[in-house]
């Protein structure tokens, strides 16, 4: 049994055992030859050990020996020795710092700048690994395998699950990875370069929320975490892109993911995977809505940059901020000329006194009519504004110069928009789905179906959320 002070290979003095796995030990040791600290990874060869463990251990040593990157531990040597049992030993450089898991356990919370810097550095490492021939896949990216160095650089460690080639069809394979960070294709032995991107996305989610991704709820197979953060909405969408459960929906490579992060070009992600970056960006500038929104717009004959024809609704857009103004209801009839006005005055002079006498003798009817009249006057004078800000959707009533905020919804909590149509009754509803809560915009009763559909289109474009249409 190894203890502090043991000297291995006449060179390395054990100083501290890191972790308590008896079969796969990690030690901090002093290199008596170079006079510095090193990390010793030991695999105990015994009955409980499987040959799979030895294969992975030797593969890690081989990979580290043939790669060189400033933010990957440096290979020093690999040897075996006999003590109470047989040991295989991998020696690598020591990186002063703390693992992200250790920082999480201490209660550390990470800012948007921290996460962006961390993601950038890990992607740079993955670009290097994935461009090797053959590509090297880490397959176990998680907080405990990332070191925040004392020099404030980010290091990727523990290549014990590394893969350098895809298993052939019909051949056996080794399932590795950590639940919560491992994509489904990796469990099937078909890890690809963007499998590492999924693990990075899940790691960022853990750092962002402080909760392991395995413990977070899922919606349609995707990890749902928007409601736990006020991080920039576009950055959240980028992390969601990385953590897509289906490999084909993730960035095709670490290089694409990094370019998107640096340029803040998070739109039209599916297009960018199949077309050169400059063409994809041109298409993104031409299209104001995603394919889901284009189909929806075509169904109602809408354009996202202007309201439907004959509509009094106005749109004022400045960058990411917009204001939709729904004017007062106005009179339910319009007088075309003076003769119609004279006819109305004559009828009112005859029927007015009779109507007032009827109201005076029927209190119940009078009360109901009064309520209806108040409601009508309210609709007659009230302007409805939908303010689409950088962080919130605010619905504001404006009557006689006074503003009243009816509803305020955080932008980053909107997951989808449901447009419910009852065509036989010529009615429709807009439902804003915020995951754990839904908001129905009943206040848009004065709008037509096409006007509500157009408002839904604008909300979808602003919140970057899909539209789901339901016909009754």
**Residue 21 maps to which CATH number?**
3.30.200.20
Residues 307 and 439 in one domain: yes
Weakest-pLDDT range from 54-58, 139-143, 293-297: 293-297
Q: How many CB atoms lie within 10 A of CB 200?
A: 27
> What confidence score (pLDDT) does residue 274 get?
39
pLDDT higher than threshold 80 for residue 7: yes
Angle, vertex CA 18, rays to CA 16 and CA 20, nearest 5: 115
Residues 310 and 209 in one domain: no
Q: What sign does the dihedral 71-76-78-81 (CA atoms) show?
A: negative
On whether residue 333 sits in a domain, the answer given is: no
On whether residue 1 sits in a domain, the answer given is: no
pLDDT higher than threshold 90 for residue 437: no
What does the alpha-carbon distance between residue 455 and residue 457 come to, in Å, rounded to a whole number? 5
pLDDT higher than threshold 50 for residue 268: no
**In this structure, what are the phi and psi dihedrals at residue 91, rounded to the nearest 5 degrees?**
-110, 130
On whether residue 216 sits in a domain, the answer given is: yes
Residues 63 and 155 in one domain: no
Whether omega before 134 lies within 30 degrees of 0, making that bond cis, reads yes
Residues 129 and 217 in one domain: yes
On whether residue 236 sits in a domain, the answer given is: yes
Q: Best-predicted range by mean pLDDT among 66-70, 294-298, 345-349?
A: 66-70
Residues 302 and 450 in one domain: yes
Residues 258 and 361 in one domain: no
User: Which pTM was predicted?
Assistant: 0.57
On whether residue 458 sits in a domain, the answer given is: yes
What does the alpha-carbon distance between residue 266 and residue 237 come to, in Å, rounded to a whole number? 7
What does the alpha-carbon distance between residue 190 and residue 36 come to, in Å, rounded to a whole number? 40
Contacts (Cβ under 8 Å, ≥6 apart) of 391: 230, 233, 410, 411, 412
State the CATH number of the domain containing residue 259: 1.10.510.10
What is the share, in percent, of the chain residues with pLDDT greater than 70? 78
Angle, vertex CA 105, rays to CA 150 and CA 18, nearest 5: 65
pLDDT higher than threshold 60 for residue 209: yes
Q: What sign does the dihedral 346-351-356-357 (CA atoms) show?
A: positive
Q: Which of 332, 333, 325 is nearest to 307 (CA)?
A: 325
Angle, vertex CA 436, rays to CA 431 and CA 442, nearest 5: 25
Residues 387 and 426 in one domain: yes
**End-of-domain residue from the set 44, 64, 93:** 93
On whether residue 278 sits in a domain, the answer given is: yes
Residues 102 and 221 in one domain: yes
Residues 123 and 230 in one domain: yes
State the CATH number of the domain containing residue 427: 2.30.29
Weakest-pLDDT range from 112-126, 171-185, 217-231: 171-185
Model pLDDT for residues 40-84, shown as the tens digit of each residue: 999 887 656 667 788 888 889 999 998 889 999 999 999 999 887
> What confidence score (pLDDT) does residue 133 get?
79
Residues 391 and 442 in one domain: yes
On whether residue 170 sits in a domain, the answer given is: no
Residues 349 and 373 in one domain: yes
**End-of-domain residue from the set 45, 76, 93:** 93
Number of domains in the chain: 4
Residues 70 and 20 in one domain: yes
On whether residue 120 sits in a domain, the answer given is: yes
Full residue range of the structural domain in which residue 31 is found:
7-93
């Amino acid at each position: 049994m190894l203890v502090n002070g043991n000297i291995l290979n006449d060179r390395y003095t054990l100083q501290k055992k890191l972790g308590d796995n008896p079969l796969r030990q990690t030690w901090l040791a002093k290199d008596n030859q170079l006079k510095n600290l090193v990390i010793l990874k030991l695999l105990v060869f015994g009955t409980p050990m499987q040959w799979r463990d030895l294969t992975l251990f030797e593969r890690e040593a081989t990979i580290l020996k043939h790669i060189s990157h400033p933010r990957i531990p440096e290979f020093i040597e690999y040897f075996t020795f006999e003590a109470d049992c047989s040991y295989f030993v991998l020696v690598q450089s020591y990186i002063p710092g703390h693992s992200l898991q250790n920082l999480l356990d201490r209660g550390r919370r990470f800012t948007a700048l921290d996460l962006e810097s961390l993601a950038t550095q890990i992607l740079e490492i993955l670009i290097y690994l994935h461009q090797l021939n053959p590509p090297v896949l880490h397959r176990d990216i998680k907080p405990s395998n990332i070191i925040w160095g004392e020099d404030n650089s980010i290091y990727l460690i523990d290549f014990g699950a590394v893969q350098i080639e895809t298993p052939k069809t019909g051949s056996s394979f080794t399932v590795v990875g950590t639940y919560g960070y491992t994509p489904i294709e990796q469990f099937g032995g078909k890890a690809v370069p963007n499998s590492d991107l999924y693990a990075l996305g899940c790691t960022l989610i853990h750092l962002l929320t402080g909760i392991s991704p395995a413990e977070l709820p899922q919606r349609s197979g995707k990890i749902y975490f928007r409601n736990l953060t006020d991080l920039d909405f576009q950055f959240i969408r980028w992390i969601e892109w990385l953590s897509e459960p289906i490999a084909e929906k993730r960035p095709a490579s670490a290089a694409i993911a990094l370019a998107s992060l640096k340029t803040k070009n998070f739109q039209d992600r599916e297009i960018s995977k199949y077309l050169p970056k400059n063409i994809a960006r041109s298409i993104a500038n031409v299209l104001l809505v995603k394919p889901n929104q284009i189909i929806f717009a075509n169904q109602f004959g809408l354009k996202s940059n202007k309201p439907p024809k004959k509509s009094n609704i106005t749109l004022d857009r400045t960058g990411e901020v917009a204001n939709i103004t729904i004017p007062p209801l106005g009179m339910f009839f319009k007088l075309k000329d003076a003769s119609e006005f004279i006819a109305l005055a004559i009828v009112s002079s005859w029927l007015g006194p009779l109507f007032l006498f009827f109201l005076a003798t029927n209190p119940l009817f009078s009360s109901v009519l009064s309520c209806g009249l108040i409601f009508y006057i309210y609709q007659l004078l009230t302007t409805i504004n939908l303010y689409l800000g950088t962080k919130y959707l605010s619905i504001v009533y404006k009557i006689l110069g006074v503003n009243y905020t009816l509803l305020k919804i955080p932008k980053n909590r909107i997951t989808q928009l449901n447009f419910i149509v009852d065509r036989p009754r010529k009615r429709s509803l807009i439902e804003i789905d915020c995951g754990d809560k839904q908001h129905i915009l009943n206040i848009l009763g004065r709008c037509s179906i096409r006007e509500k559909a157009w408002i839904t289109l604008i909300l979808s474009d602003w919140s970057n959320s899909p539209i789901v249409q339901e016909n009754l």
